[in-house]
């Protein structure tokens, strides 16, 4: 359930709306333009027709003026031009030309009607005069003409309309006809004066040709605009495609950024960022629903060893495979994250009981302890898991994570490859460790440490051959703190390096005092922690120490533990060789408790082994431990190594060790670790004298 930016989706919707708006806007604009153009076309056509009508009207007027000024025209009498009964009162109505041709006077109105009829027959243009008080009944107005004539009396100058005449389209135009002086000849008895509107002259122009031309024009305009519309559409389409593309690109880019910001590039798991986000969500949900959330903090054991010994590429492969296995152990709804290094977390939201969490933890341990096939080599790691449960172990993600880390630390303490549920007791211990770190820093500054010495006895003759230096911390606030308590904290914080330096310097000084006092010390054992041994500048520091303290040569024994051998990357063999060359001897401390691969003894240059006191303790009661002790001694001798038994407390143990051929012994049976003063006294007292026996 990878969530992505909702941003792009809303952007897409916005773009879609935008595109539709542009599309509708463009279409509307083209449609309006089309309507306007078609209207204009109609108006132009109408204006042309009107102009034609006006031309005809003007001609009609000119004829009429001419006719009225000249008072009629004599024409030969024909069938169409019979003498007019209306002109009976005129004596010279009919004339005979000297050549005998019969002429008759034609009344101008009558003449013009005939001309108009002819014009109509020839060109389709019809003319007609009309009057409110017509002399000729044919000139009576129709409804439209009557309305026009009425409007003229109100001062209008023209009316026109589109109409049908005998099923054909026509433009009909009418203009007022004003009474001229000549008109009164015929119309004087109707009561008109010069200037009165007597009627109107109507002209009808056929529209067929105009309409046909306009139709062609309109079609062309429509097609042209249609093409422009389509061109606009394709531009919009192109723009849309580009915009979508750009959005997609941006989405890809944002996805990539989001991926980088939220996922671990090596394993593909969510990273710390997303982990915290998911945890916060799970907690908020659990709070609303009154359920629990479990947080598992997983740390691989010995991962550093794999990384150092087999290289980073192999280390990366291991992490990838571990991530894959982790995912197999959880449900779809659970979140597996890598916080960094070899630290992983699992969020189990909505759990009902701790039992199910324990099952998940156990299955994770099981999965991770199966061998890893890496670099053509089977590798084994395991994991330590700390578990916290919301709400009992913490109310927010920071607290839960910190407490899970504490529980994980406890799992490591308890021997690794296990899981631990967080307890508030652990928290107190963890807090104790933190405050102890600060106190240790202070102790170094304030020189709160001192050394005690425990004698080492040669079993063969019962004489003291030397001592082991054991650190003591006299803290003003905490009282005497046992090294078992503060050494692990010093190792974790790196403070063991300056502390260890001080131990070596102090032991060298003390040995010099005993040498000066003529007290015999064949050897001086100093404990060196693995962190200190592997520290970068350790070899140089030892070289400097030996140069400044020649008296240490071949008498200083460094007690190291087997964990030194585990980090092959630090080349323990080479380091031990260099130390050997400087005249330093090596003891393997706590032998038998660690990884105890006997092959180490063969491979690495060491001088001595110290049998751990847990074996020595039971040699007289547990036959198995007795057998083990004897075997270790025999084997060490076989390899040319000396053996020290530590923790010798009783006569019986001493006798057993003597019988077994052990070389040296150390323990409360001879002496507790003593202050420098007490040890000096002890040495003086037992000079050339057996300590026991």
Residues making contact with ligand C2E (CB under 6 A): 454, 469-471, 482-484, 487, 500, 503, 527-529, 559, 589-590, 613, 646-649, 666-668, 673
Beta strands in 459-552 (DSSP E): 464-475, 479-481, 523-527
Residue 242 to residues 25, 229, 253, 463, Cα–Cα distance (Å): 20, 20, 16, 95
454's contact among Ca ion, ligand C2E, none, with CB below 5 to 8 A by partner kind, is ligand C2E
Distance in Å, CB of 555 to ligand C2E, minimum: 17
Binding partner of residue 271 among Ca ion, ligand C2E, none, CB under 5 to 8 Å per kind? none
670 within 8 A of 650, measured Cβ to Cβ: no
Nearer to Ca ion, 342 or 590 (CB): 590
For position 562 contacting Ca ion by CB under 5 A, the verdict is no
Minimum distance, C-beta of residue 649 to ligand C2E, in the bound complex (Å): 4
**Least separation in angstroms between CB 531 and ligand C2E:** 9
Q: Dihedral of the CA atoms 27, 33, 37, 38 (nearest 10)?
A: 40
Q: Which does 668 bind (CB under 5 to 8 A by kind): ligand C2E, Ca ion, none?
A: ligand C2E
- CB of residue 470 vs Ca ion: minimum separation in angstroms? 7
Please say which residue, 145 or 590, places its beta carbon nearer to Ca ion: 590
Q: How far is the CB of 672 from ligand C2E (least distance, A)?
A: 7
At its nearest, how many Å lie between ligand C2E and the CB of residue 504? 9
683 binds, among Ca ion, ligand C2E, none (CB under 5 to 8 A by kind): none
The DSSP letter of residue 157 is -
In the complex, least distance from residue 616 CB atom to ligand C2E, rounded to whole angstroms: 8
Choose the contact partner of 334 out of ligand C2E, Ca ion, none; CB within 5 to 8 A by kind.
none
Query: Is residue 625 a contact residue for Ca ion (CB under 5 A)?
Result: no
User: Cβ distance 605 to 592 under 8 Å?
Assistant: no
Indicate which of ligand C2E, Ca ion, none lies near residue 308 (CB less than 5 to 8 Å, by partner kind). Answer: none
Among ligand C2E, Ca ion, none, residue 130 binds (CB under 5-8 Å by kind): none
> Which of residues 264 and 646 has its CB atom nearest to ligand C2E in the complex?
646
Selected range binding Ca ion among 25-33, 170-178, 489-497, 586-594, rule: CB under 5 A? 586-594
The site partner of 649 among Ca ion, ligand C2E, none (C-beta below 5 to 8 Å per kind) is: ligand C2E
Q: Residue 246: enclosing H or E segment and its boundaries?
A: helix 208-262
- Percent helix, strand, coil in the chain, to 5, is 55, 20, 25
Pairing of strands 585-591, 608-611: parallel
Q: Between vectors from CA 78 to CA 73 and to CA 84, what angle results, nearest 5°?
A: 55
Name the pairing type of β-strands 642-645 and 608-611.
parallel
**Candidate segments 63-71, 131-139, 559-567, 683-691, binder of Ca ion by CB under 5 A:** 559-567
Q: Which of 52, 60, 145, 559 binds Ca ion (CB under 5 A)?
A: 559
* DSSP one-letter string for 476-497: TTTEEEPHHHHHHHHHHHTTHH
- Per the document, the length of the chain is 693
Question: Are 96 and 103 spatial neighbours (Cβ–Cβ below 8 Å)?
Answer: yes
Instruction: Report, in Å, the least distance between residue 611 CB and Ca ion.
Output: 9
Footprint of Ca ion on 519-538 (CB under 5 A): 527
What ranges make up the beta strands (E) of 381-426? Answer: 382-390, 419-421
Q: Between residues 52 and 646, which has the closer beta carbon with respect to ligand C2E?
A: 646
Return d(Cα 17, Cα 247) in angstroms, integer.
Answer: 15
Judged by beta carbon, residue 393 or residue 590, the one nearer Ca ion is 590
Query: Shortest gap between Cβ of 522 and Ca ion (angstroms)?
Result: 17
Decide whether 69 or 655 has the Cβ nearer to ligand C2E. Answer: 655
Among 589, 636, 664, 691, indicate the residue that binds Ca ion (CB under 5 A). 589
Between β-strands 464-475 and 523-527, what pairing exists: parallel, antiparallel or unpaired? parallel
In the complex with ligand C2E, the residue whose CB is nearer, 342 or 590, is: 590
Nearer to ligand C2E, 60 or 589 (CB): 589
- The option from Ca ion, ligand C2E, none interacting with 56 (CB < 5 to 8 A, set by class) reads none
What is the smallest separation between the CB atom of 360 and ligand C2E, expressed in angstroms?
37
Nearer to ligand C2E, 130 or 532 (CB): 532
In the Cβ-directed half-sphere of 335, how many Cα atoms lie within 13 Å?
Answer: 26
Alpha-carbon Rg for the chain in angstroms? 61
Contact range with Ca ion by CB under 5 A, out of 405-413, 486-494, 588-596, 684-692 = 588-596
List strand residue ranges (DSSP E) for 263-328, in order. Answer: 292-301
At residue 632, what are phi and psi to the nearest 5 degrees?
-60, -45
Candidates 52-60, 66-74, 441-449, 554-562; binding stretch for Ca ion (CB under 5 A) = 554-562
Buried b vs exposed e over 341-353: b needs ≥16 C-beta within 10 Å?
ebbbbbbbbebee
Q: Considering only CA atoms, which of 529, 530, 559 is closest in space to residue 664?
A: 559
Please list the alpha-helical segments (H only) found in 101-142. 108-123
CB-nearer residue toward ligand C2E: 202 or 673 = 673
- Minimum Å gap between C-beta 561 and Ca ion is 8
Which listed option, ligand C2E, Ca ion, none, makes contact with residue 647 (CB within 5 to 8 Å by class)? ligand C2E
DSSP label of 453? E
Q: State the nearest-atom distance from the C-beta of 515 to ligand C2E, in Å.
A: 21
Q: Are strands 642-645 and 168-178 parallel, antiparallel or unpaired?
A: unpaired
CB of 539 to ligand C2E, least distance (A): 17
The nearer residue to ligand C2E, 145 or 590, going by C-beta atoms, is 590
CA distances from 229 to 29, 37, 118, 253 (A): 9, 15, 50, 36
User: Nearest approach, Cβ of 409 to Ca ion (angstroms)?
Assistant: 24
From ligand C2E, Ca ion, none, interface partner of 179 (C-beta below 5 to 8 A by class): none
Q: By CB under 5 A, tell whether 145 contacts Ca ion.
A: no
Cβ-based neighbours of 654, under 8 Å, separated by 6 or more: 459, 648, 665, 669, 692
Rounded to the nearest 10°, the torsion over CA 395, 401, 406, 408 is 130
Residue 482, contacted partner among ligand C2E, Ca ion, none, CB below 5-8 A by kind? ligand C2E
The C-alpha torsion from 375 through 299 and 414 to 362, rounded to 10°, is: -90
Alpha helix positions (H), 171-207? 184-187
Residue 205 or residue 609: which is nearer to Ca ion going by CB?
609
Which residue, 183 or 645, has its beta carbon nearer to ligand C2E?
A: 645
Place of tokens 């023209």: 158
Contact in structure between 131 and 150 (CB atoms under 8 Å): no
**Interface segment toward Ca ion; rule CB under 5 A; list 172-180, 260-268, 492-500, 585-593:** 585-593
Q: Judged by CB, which is closer to Ca ion: 562, or 589?
A: 589
The SS3 assignment for 168 reads strand
Which of 242, 248, 276 lies closest to 5 in space, CA to CA? 248
- Residue 465 binds: one of ligand C2E, Ca ion, none (C-beta under 5 to 8 A by kind): none
- The nearer residue to ligand C2E, 60 or 559, going by C-beta atoms, is 559
Residue 471 partner contact from Ca ion, ligand C2E, none using kind-dependent CB cut-offs of 5 to 8 Å: ligand C2E
- Of 492 and 649, the one with the shorter C-beta distance to ligand C2E is 649
Binding site for Ca ion (CB under 5 A): 527, 559, 589-590
């Amino acid at each position: 359930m990878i969530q992505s930016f909702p941003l792009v989706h809303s952007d897409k919707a916005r773009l879609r709306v935008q595109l539709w708006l542009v599309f509708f806007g463009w279409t509307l604009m083209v449609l309006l333009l089309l309507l306007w153009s078609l209207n204009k076309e109609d108006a132009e056509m109408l204006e042309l027709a009107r102009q034609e009508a006006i031309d005809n009207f003007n001609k009609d007027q000119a004829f009429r003026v001419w006719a009225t000024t000249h008072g009629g025209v004599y024409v030969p009498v024909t069938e169409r031009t019979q003498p007019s009964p209306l002109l009976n009162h005129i004596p010279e109505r009919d004339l005979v030309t000297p050549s005998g041709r019969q002429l008759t006077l034609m009344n101008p109105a009558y003449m013009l009607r005939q001309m108009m009829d002819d014009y109509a027959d020839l060109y389709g243009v019809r003319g007609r005069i009309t009057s409110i008080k017509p002399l000729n009944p044919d000139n009576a107005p129709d409804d439209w003409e009557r309305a026009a004539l009425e409007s003229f009396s109100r001062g209008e100058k023209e009316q026109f309309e589109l109409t049908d005449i005998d099923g054909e389209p026509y433009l009909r135009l009418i203009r007022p006809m004003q009474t001229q002086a000549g008109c009164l000849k015929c119309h004087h008895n109707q009561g008109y004066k010069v200037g009165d509107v007597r009627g109107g002259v109507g002209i009808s122009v056929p529209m067929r040709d105009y309409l046909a031309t306009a139709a062609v024009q309109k079609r062309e305009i429509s097609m042209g605009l249609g093409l422009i519309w389509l061109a606009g559409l394709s531009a919009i389409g192109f723009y849309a495609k580009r915009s979508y593309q750009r959005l997609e690109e941006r989405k890809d880019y944002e996805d990539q950024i989001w991926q980088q910001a939220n996922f671990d590039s090596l394993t593909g798991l969510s990273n710390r960022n997303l982990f915290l986000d998911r945890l916060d969500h799970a907690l908020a949900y659990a709070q609303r629903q009154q359920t629990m959330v479990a947080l598992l903090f997983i740390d691989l054991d010995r991962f550093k060893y794999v990384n150092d010994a087999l290289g980073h590429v192999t280390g990366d492969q291991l992490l990838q495979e571990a991530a894959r296995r982790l995912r197999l152990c959880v449900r779809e709804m659970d979140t597996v994250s890598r916080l960094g290094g070899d630290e992983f977390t699992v969020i189990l939201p909505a759990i009902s009981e701790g039992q199910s969490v324990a099952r998940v933890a156990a299955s994770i341990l099981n999965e991770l302890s199966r061998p890893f096939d890496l670099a053509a080599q089977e590798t084994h790691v395991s994991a330590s898991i700390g578990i916290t449960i919301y709400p009992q172990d913490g109310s927010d993600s920071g607290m839960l994570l910190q407490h899970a880390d504490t529980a994980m630390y406890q799992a490591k303490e308890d021997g690794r490859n296990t899981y631990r549920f967080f307890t508030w007791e652990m928290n107190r211990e963890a807090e104790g460790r933190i405050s102890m770190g600060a106190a240790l820093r202070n102790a170094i500054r304030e020189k709160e440490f001192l050394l005690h010495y425990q004698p080492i006895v040669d079993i063969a003759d019962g004489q003291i051959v030397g001592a082991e230096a054991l650190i003591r911390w006299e803290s003003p606030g905490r009282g005497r703190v046992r090294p078992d308590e503060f050494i692990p904290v010093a190792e974790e914080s790196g403070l063991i390096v300056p502390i260890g330096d001080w131990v070596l310097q102090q032991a060298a000084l003390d040995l010099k005092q005993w040498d000066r006092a003529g007290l015999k010390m064949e050897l001086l054992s100093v404990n060196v922690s693995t962190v200190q041994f592997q520290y970068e500048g350790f070899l140089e520091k030892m070289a400097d120490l030996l140069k400044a303290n020649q008296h240490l040569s071949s008498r200083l024994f460094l007690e190291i533990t087997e964990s030194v051998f585990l980090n092959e990357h630090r080349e323990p063999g080479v380091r031990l060789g260099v130390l050997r060359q400087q005249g330093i001897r090596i003891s393997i401390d706590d032998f038998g408790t660690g990884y105890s691969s006997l092959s180490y003894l063969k491979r690495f240059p060491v001088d001595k082994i110290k049998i751990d006191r847990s074996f020595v303790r039971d040699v007289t009661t547990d036959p198995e431990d007795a057998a083990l002790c004897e075997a270790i001694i025999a084997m060490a001798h076989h390899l040319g190594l000396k053996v020290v038994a530590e923790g010798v407390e009783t006569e019986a143990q001493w006798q057993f060790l003597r019988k077994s051929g052990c070389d040296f012994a150390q323990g409360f049976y001879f002496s507790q670790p003593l202050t420098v003063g007490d040890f000096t006294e002890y040495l003086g007292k037992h000079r050339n004298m057996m300590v026991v026996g």
